[in-house]
Chain A
Amino acid sequence: MSNISSTFNRLRKNSEGALIAYVTGGDPSPKYTPKIVKALVEGGVDIVEIGIPFSDPIADGPVIQASDVRALSAGTTPTMVLNIVRELKKTIETPIVLLTYYNIIFRKGVGRFLEEASKSSVDGIIVADLPVEEASEYKEYAEEKGIDTIFLAAPSTSSERLEKIVNMDSGFLYLISVFGVTGMRDHVAQLTIQTLKRIRQYTVNRIPLAVGFGISKPDHVRTIISYGAEGAIVGSAFVKIIEENQNDLPILLDRLTKYAREMKEATKLIS
């Protein structure tokens, strides 16, 4: 069983949801990333998503776009991010998932990218612009290397598509909560809850379902967990903390840990 699956199993036994945190690798500079990841883990984050920055992140809102710009300006490359993960995995067991756009993988060569990801002990990969239709080569290599392939579902995804997606998916399914790009939102939309209920029918007892896009407050986490999500994905809110405190590392790390702790608390069901 993959590291990601066993993490969900363990949490399920404790009646907890997973807190999944996203940060962009190399933001604000590659030397910060290992410390940032450790601060997140210390705050109780269950799975860490590390973005490999891309020049044209079409699925991202302004906050994550700005983090890509910072990371790329600091000279971050895909190889650097893979090396950071390899070093991190020597000291932490928390699953690490890479999130990127397909050109980053394609440019290295799909086989070579997955080979290197496997050597870095990457647990899973999410590709923002790779739908199942285009994913057969990628899926084949990932399976061979034992890396989970986490696909996305959206409010617009039909039942027919969902079936195909769930069949190709492993680790967890990433449910995009709204129509839109990444970014913080004030409350959990009615649409999110409806979509969550609908999609859960397909995933229950098959694959853990995690919800992302807009989740930024403990209340949001409680809401989606109470409607059956098994994980909450929080990105822009963490990235915003990095943006605001990029010039003061100790304060930055402290804020990340505190915020993670607060969000983690909200994943625990008191039933």
Chain B
Amino acid sequence: MNRITYEYPKDGKYGRYGGKFAPETLMPALEELEKAYLRFKDDPEFKKKLKYYLEKFAGRPTPLYYAANLTGKLGGPKIYLKREDLAHGGAHKINNTIGQALLAKKMGKTRIIAETGAGQHGVATAMACAALGLKAEIYMGAEDMKRQRLNVFRMRLLGAEVHPVESGSKTLKDAINEALRDWVTNVQTTYYLIGSVVGPHPYPMIVRDFQSVIGFEAKEQILAQESRLPDAVVACIGGGSNAIGIFYPFLEDKDVELYGIEAAGEGLHTGRHAASLCAGSEGVFHGMLSYVLQDENGQILTTHSISAGLDYPGVGPEHSFLKSIGRVKYDAVTDEEALEAFLQLSKVEGIIPALEPCHALAYAKKLAEKMGRDEILLVNLSGRGDKDVEVVANRLGVKI
């Protein structure tokens, strides 16, 4: 294995993945963004500001919690949860939105646009923008607006404008399409604050860098609490930002096994899922060469998952690279399995998790069966489940 960590991917490529497949109108903006990011990322004043907002506004560092009850129940390795559910807004998304909103401000942009699926990135964008005095406009699929009504209202409370997207499948991919169309039109004044490690270079790199705070903290915390590294790390994969965030500082630690878990929806064989890495093929979509769910003609497929945040037919290019070299193992779990994990963690640990990381939890359960009691398993609990309570109640046939 030669190179694993692409601190700064040349030409935006991770192996053969990534790149900048964007309309010409956006190319100069992507160059400008890259230049600005490289200029500010190591700038002491920028770093100080970022640190300030991450600590005092977002509540970092988030705890690394030893899930003693779950560990006892499963009877295998010691299970630790990285508590991104305790970050401001209830998910890891805030790490990225604060970073990018600060960058936008440095670049002199006053209007921020973003897409959102579950609404978590939209809420996190609205929060960061309100805090920093920026105007936020959020594109959200009309279908997602229905299943995540609470988050739509939260975004509006935070002063953001929410634009319903009626095209295509009316979910996350269409929200990104619409945000890109807005950006092409208003690129001179507008900053596109993308929500995951997807899109054309430099976005996958920028979002990864801002999210890697999860992994750097977790590494320090596990060393402090256990005096050693974990044996395995598990995270769920939508676009892949919480996963790359926790994986990145462990990539060179060869003894730490890394698992990225996608949404198998109703089952990979049914075609109703969102597992691009496990069941997709290489394609060029939303500005990047990566794994995508597509038909034999290259048309992008609609996806299905119980969790809106994983309902996306593409995945970040760095994950495609990590799959290609075998550094990370990618697998998928079904809606049903995620739901079971949701119920279990709530009852056993007193933590209601978001449906997205329930995919990681469900896989951790399977993995635990194969691991010894002296081993350590780290799960990225990327968000809390308040937003999903209604979906779960419906699914269980409970009226609330």
Contacts and interface: CB of A to CB of B under 8 A. Distances in A.
Partners in one complex: yes
Contact of A156 (B29, B173, B296): B29
B28 interface: yes
Contact of B23 (A61, A129, A155, A158): A129
A263 interface: no
| Residues of A in contact with B, size category | 35 or more
B29 A103 contact: no
Nearest to A174: B24
A176 B300 CA distance: 26
Contact of B284 (A59, A102, A152): A102
Contacts of A108: 298
Contacts of A103: 283-285, 292, 294, 298, 300
Interface string A53-71: 0111111010001000000
Nearest to B174: A56
Nearest to B187: A179
Nearest to A105: B298
B346 interface: no
Interface SS of A by simple majority: loop
Given A65-B167, A102-B284, A104-B298, A59 B184 contact: yes
Interface residues of B, number: 37
A245 interface: no
Contacts of B283: 103, 106-107
Nearest to A66: B167
Interface string B271-302: 00000000000111111010010101111100
Classify the interface of chain B: helix, strand, loop or mixed: mixed
A161 B27 contact: yes
Contact of A102 (B21, B185, B282): B21
A106 B24 contact: no
Interface in B1-34: 11, 19-25, 27-29
Contacts of B28: 154, 156-158, 161
Interface in A89-105: 101-105
B186 interface: yes
B177 interface: yes
Contacts of B181: 58-59, 61, 181
A72 B301 CA distance: 12
B184 A180 contact: yes
Interface stretch (A16-24, A32-40, A130-138): A130-138
Nearest to B283: A103
Contacts of B286: 56, 58
Given A65-B167, A179-B185, A154 B25 contact: yes
A114 interface: no
A180 B186 CA distance: 7
A54 B296 CA distance: 13
A153 B24 contact: yes
Contacts of A56: 168, 173-174, 177, 285-286, 300
Contacts of B25: 154-156, 176, 179
B104 interface: no
A58 B167 contact: no
11 contacts: A56-B168, A58-B181, A58-B286, A59-B181, A78-B297, A102-B284, A103-B283, A103-B284, A130-B21, A154-B23, A180-B185
Interface of B: 11, 19-25, 27-29, 167-168, 173-174, 177, 180-181, 184-188, 282-287, 289, 292, 294, 296-300
Interface of A: 54-59, 61, 65, 72, 77-79, 101-108, 128-131, 133-134, 151-158, 161, 165, 176, 179-181
